Amino acid sequence: MMTKVQSDIDFEKDGQQFSFLKIPHSRNSSAWGNQLIPIVVFKNGTGPTILLSGGVHGDEYEGPVALSKLVRGLRPEMIQGRVIVLPALNFPAHAAGTRLSPVDGRDLNRSFPGRRDGGITEIIAHYVDQVVFPFCDVVLDFHSGGYSLDFLPAVVMHELENAGQMGATRDALLAFGAPCGHVLFEVDGGGTLDFAAEQSGKIFLSTELRGGGRVDPLGVEVAENGIRNILRHFQIADLQAESEGGWNAKRTERLFRIPSALNFVHAGEAGLFEGDLVLGASVAEGRSVGRTHFLGNLQRAPEELVAKCTGTLICKRAPGRVEPGDCVAVIGI
Ligand code: CA
């Protein structure tokens, strides 16, 4: 068997299938138990295949909520091609509300291409890489800031070496219709779903949609609008918004580059971070993006944390407590 994942999904069958991926998981509370990961497949005739995934990190909620709304409203006759939805891909982490899996402590987005005989998280990665990706032309993987970060809602792509793949991905980024579009130079893409999808030639997009441990309503709207726009862009479906209100841009509005480590600001010491700039604020190189207070030493002045480039604040830390090395701000240029 190519994979340890058991599934009754037939990817070649027309119609809609709601099911689960089953991964054997023997544990104290469940002798012959499985981990169940929800999957929905819609197929109608021939056409492109898109994978819509979310919950790679279990504390990122906006994409999974938008995908759960999509699968309840979509019908096979509305599409031409195939839509594979994995809304909570690292389901054990999703159920625990944690970034990493509580089963094996792993980050699914550092576990690709995975291993057939690895831990649960590696088995999930291996299934996506070996079984799902070969069907796909387009992969759209929804991320958010999770517990620790808060982002201006954005669609995200990487700088790619292949000019054709880069151009087609950039067209899709613009068609997504988010408030922001980020072109990210990935310093270390090894082990990510992103890198695995790009390496196998897919058009790959990700997102960052608010976060801070919430289900942010604007983040959900941007995700829903992006799904409609991307399905239209690839001529898979022409869906209408359920209501007139909400975010419904047809093009991504502001483009930012995040080319290097200079775009990130990190905490120096442990304490309470007071980030007093709002998302979207202009930041000048050398200007403070906030400060760390030391409540254990009241005579000590706060440590100002300073931007290393000039641009726009696109992401900031959500919780107050910081440890050395925590990301507190990202500046897009
Ligand atoms: Ca993430």
Calculate the CA 81 to chain-centre distance: 23
* Rounded percentage of the chain residues whose pLDDT exceeds 90: 96
Average pLDDT over residues 20-48: 96
Q: How far is the CA of 332 from the centre of ligand 1 (A)?
A: 17
Rounded distance from Cα 143 to ligand 1 centre (Å): 5
* 199 — pLDDT class (breaks 50, 70, 90): very high
What's the 327 CA to ligand 1 centre distance in angstroms? Answer: 13
pLDDT value, residue 324: 98
Q: How confident is the model at residue 245 (pLDDT cuts 50, 70, 90)?
A: confident
Ligand 1 centroid to Cα of residue 109, in Å, is 8
- Interval between CA 126 and ligand 1 midpoint (Å): 19
Nearest 10 degrees: CA dihedral of 239, 201, 109, 39? Answer: 40
pLDDT at 45: 97
Phi, psi of 158 (to 5 degrees): -105, 155
State the distance from the centre of ligand 1 to the C-alpha of 190, rounded, in angstroms: 15
The answer to whether residue 236 scores a pLDDT higher than 80 is: yes
Name the residues around ion ligand 1, CB cutoff 5 A: 57, 143
**Run of H or E including 137:** none
Is the pLDDT at 187 greater than 80? The verdict is no
Q: What is the predicted pLDDT for the residue at 186?
A: 79
Ligand 1 centroid–CA 209 distance in Å is 10
Distance (Å) from CA 280 to ligand 1 centroid: 20
Mean pLDDT within 145-173? 97
Ligand 1 centre from 319 Cα, in Å? 16
Distance 263 CA to ligand 1 centre (A): 18
Distance 115 CA to ligand 1 centre (A): 21
Q: What distance in angstroms lies between residue 129's CA and the mean position of ligand 1's atoms?
A: 18
Give the angle 22-25-26 at the CA atoms, nearest 5°. 145
Distance 98 CA to ligand 1 centre (A): 11
Distance, CA 145 to ligand 1 centroid (Å)?
6
Q: What's the CA-to-centroid distance between 31 and ligand 1, angstroms?
A: 32
CA 247 – CA 73 distance, rounded (Å):
18
- Looking at residues 184-201, what average pLDDT do you find? 91
pLDDT higher than 80, residue 188: no
Average pLDDT over residues 302-321: 98
Nearest CA-CA partner of 262 in 185, 190, 150: 185
Residue 1 clears pLDDT 80, i.e. is over it: no
Beta strand pairing call for 138-142 and 49-54 = parallel
Residue 60 CA, ligand 1 centroid: distance in Å: 7
Task: Quick: pLDDT tens for 124-147.
Answer: 999 999 999 999 999 999 999 999
CA angle 176, 82, 247 (to 5 degrees): 25
- For residue 44, the number of C-alpha atoms closer than 13 Å in the C-beta half-sphere is 12
Task: Using the mean position of ligand 1's atoms as its centre, give its distance from the Cα of residue 58 in Å.
Answer: 9
Which residues, in sequence order, are bridge partners of residue 34?
A: 24
Q: What is the pTM of this model?
A: 0.97
Q: Which pair of structure tokens corresponds to residue 321?
A: 């407590």
Interval between CA 146 and ligand 1 midpoint (Å): 7
Q: What span, in angstroms and rounded, lies between the C-alpha atoms of 315 and 333?
A: 12
CA of 44 to the centre of ligand 1 (A): 31
* Alpha carbon of 283 to ligand 1 centroid (Å): 24
- In the prediction, which pLDDT does 204 show? 98
DSSP assigned state of 30: B
User: 5-22: per-residue pLDDT in tens?
Assistant: 999 999 999 999 999 999
Instruction: Give distance in angstroms: CA of 2 to centre of ligand 1.
Output: 28
Encoded tokens for 225: 């609008």
Note whether 183 and 260 are within 8 A (CB). Answer: no
What pLDDT is attached to residue 313?
98
Instruction: Summarize pLDDT for 203-235 with one digit per residue, the tens.
Output: 999 999 999 999 999 999 999 999 999 999 999
Q: Can you tell me which residue has the tokens 């576990």?
A: 111
State the pLDDT at residue 67: 98
Q: Decide if pLDDT at 244 tops 90.
A: no
Q: Quick one: pLDDT at residue 70?
A: 98
CA distance 133 to 99: 23
**What does the alpha-carbon distance between residue 127 and residue 139 come to, in Å, rounded to a whole number?**
15
Reported confidence tier of residue 243, pLDDT bands at 50, 70, 90: confident
Q: For 281-306, what is the mean pLDDT?
A: 98
Distance in Å, CA 211 to ligand 1 centroid: 10
Exposed / middle / buried, residue 126 (Cβ in 10 Å: 0-12, 13-18, 19+): buried
Distance, in Å, from the CA atom of 168 to the CA atom of 154, rounded to the nearest integer, reads: 18
Hey, how many other C-beta atoms are within 10 angstroms of the C-beta on 249? 14
Mean pLDDT, all residues of the chain = 97
Distance (Å) from CA 59 to ligand 1 centroid: 8
Mean pLDDT of 299-323: 98
Token pair of 281, please? 């604020």
Rounded Cα distance between 196 and 112, Å, is 7
- The reported pLDDT for the residue numbered 189 is 80
